[in-house]
Amino acid sequence: MWKQLEMGLRAFLLIASRIWTCLCFTLRKQTRAIIQHQSVKYDLFPLSPLSRHRLSIVKRKVLVLDLDETLIHSHHDGVVRQTVRPGVPPDFILKVTIDRHPVRFFVHKRPHVDFFLDIVSQWYELVVFTASMEIYGAAVADRLDAGRGILQRRFYRQHCTPDFGSYTKDLSAICNDLSSVFILDNSPGAYKAYPDNAIPIKSWFSDPTDMALLNLLPVLDALRFTADVRSVLNRNLHLHRLCGTGGMSMGSPRTRLDAANIKPKTDLESLAESLVTRVEENSSDKQFNSDNSNSSSKDKRFKSRIPQRMCN
């Protein structure tokens, strides 16, 4: 009797624990969905007269945008990457023909990308620059633009520079004035020739709670007021090195100083060191002369004690 009751209680607890686990999983899934699709606001306050005057005297900047793993993530037929969970529906599907073979791309948009493009298109001239093929990149850009006309200028793989199996992007081909152009890209190797004109961003694959694009809005809001974007973005060099490259070789003097955590000496510091060195040299010379004079006087006294015939 007691044994049967104990077995029944264990079975009940096992079933209850499984039901509780299933409910918790469903609740977490619904919470992620709510967070991903919740309404987001970034208040655009009216500019003061001083801010409007500042914008009128500086050039309108150009923001270059990468596509894959920066604004979107995609995979094609027969390839399911581990970073994309099976069963996650794509935001849209592209059907393109590559080498006479039809290929379907399942494209996932980074969270808040549409809102991000709506806001930054009011501040900057937007340019798409991707290392992907034009037939694919153009289709993705068309879907992101959605008829708004904010992604008119586009550059593709044929505009990149091959670099040992990868591609680098020449920002000077987009804008001759490098003080007014910068790129948002997840790959530091793509902009290694222009580290002072880049904002690094973490690669995105499938995280529905990602907030990277929203976190950039305050920075981009302020950056449009600068006369030279490099005066601000060159402070991000340590982030590029953490991502795998600093845009400079380790043999360059500037990088060696940064790697050793040594700051270049100012003119005053160099002058002070030279003065200290001179003082030390003078004191050592005086000490040396005094030692020589003492030794010569000792020699004279010693010679005075020696008989004259021994000195001769």
pLDDT tens digits for 64-81?
A: 999 999 999 998 877 655
Q: Catalytic residue at 68?
A: yes
Point out the least confidently predicted range of 3-17, 124-138, 177-191, 217-231. Answer: 3-17
Return the exposure string of 70-89: e unless at least 16 CB atoms fall within 10 Å of the residue's CB, then b. Answer: bbbbbbeeeeeeeebeeeee
Residue 61: band (very low, low, confident or very high) from pLDDT cuts 50, 70, 90: very high
Q: Quick check: pTM over 0.75?
A: no
pLDDT of residue 43: 77
pLDDT of residue 111: 93
Q: Which two tokens stand for residue 219?
A: 């920075």
* Residues 6+ away with beta carbon under 8 Å from 75: 81, 84, 105, 106
Distance between CA atoms of residues 40 and 118, nearest Å: 12
Q: Catalytic residue at 207?
A: no
pLDDT of residue 28: 67
- What sign has the CA pseudo-torsion 213, 217, 218, 222? positive
Q: What is the mean pLDDT of residues 21-41?
A: 66
Residue 122: band (very low, low, confident or very high) from pLDDT cuts 50, 70, 90: very high
Direct distance between the N- and C-terminal alpha carbons of the chain, in angstroms, rounded to an integer: 130
Which one of the listed residues 43, 66, 142, 163 is annotated catalytic?
Answer: 66
Q: What is the mean pLDDT of residues 166-185?
A: 96
Tens of pLDDT, residues 240-296: 655 544 333 323 333 322 333 333 333 334 434 443 344 344 444 444 445 555 544
Q: Is the pLDDT of residue 155 over 50?
A: yes
pLDDT of residue 44: 78
Candidate ranges 165-169, 268-272, 298-302; pick with highest mean pLDDT: 165-169
Q: Is the pLDDT of residue 190 over 50?
A: yes
Tens of pLDDT, residues 269-284: 443 444 334 434 444 4
Q: Is the pLDDT of residue 186 over 60?
A: yes
Task: Please state which architecture CATH assigns to domain 31-38+47-73+110-240.
Answer: 3-Layer(aba) Sandwich (3.40)
pLDDT of residue 238: 59
* Residues 6+ away with beta carbon under 8 Å from 249: 255
- Domain residue spans in the chain? 31-38+47-73+110-240
pLDDT of residue 245: 43
pLDDT of residue 127: 98
Distance between CA atoms of residues 127 and 76, nearest Å: 25
Residue 169: band (very low, low, confident or very high) from pLDDT cuts 50, 70, 90: very high
Beta bridge partners of 128: 65, 154
**Strand ranges, E, within the chain:** 62-65, 72-76, 92-98, 101-109, 125-129, 153-155, 161-163, 166-168, 181-185, 198-200
Q: How far is CA 235 from the centre of its chain?
A: 11
Which one of the listed residues 68, 185, 207, 267 is annotated catalytic?
Answer: 68
Distance between CA atoms of residues 260 and 272, nearest Å: 23
Residue 237: band (very low, low, confident or very high) from pLDDT cuts 50, 70, 90: low
pLDDT of residue 192: 92
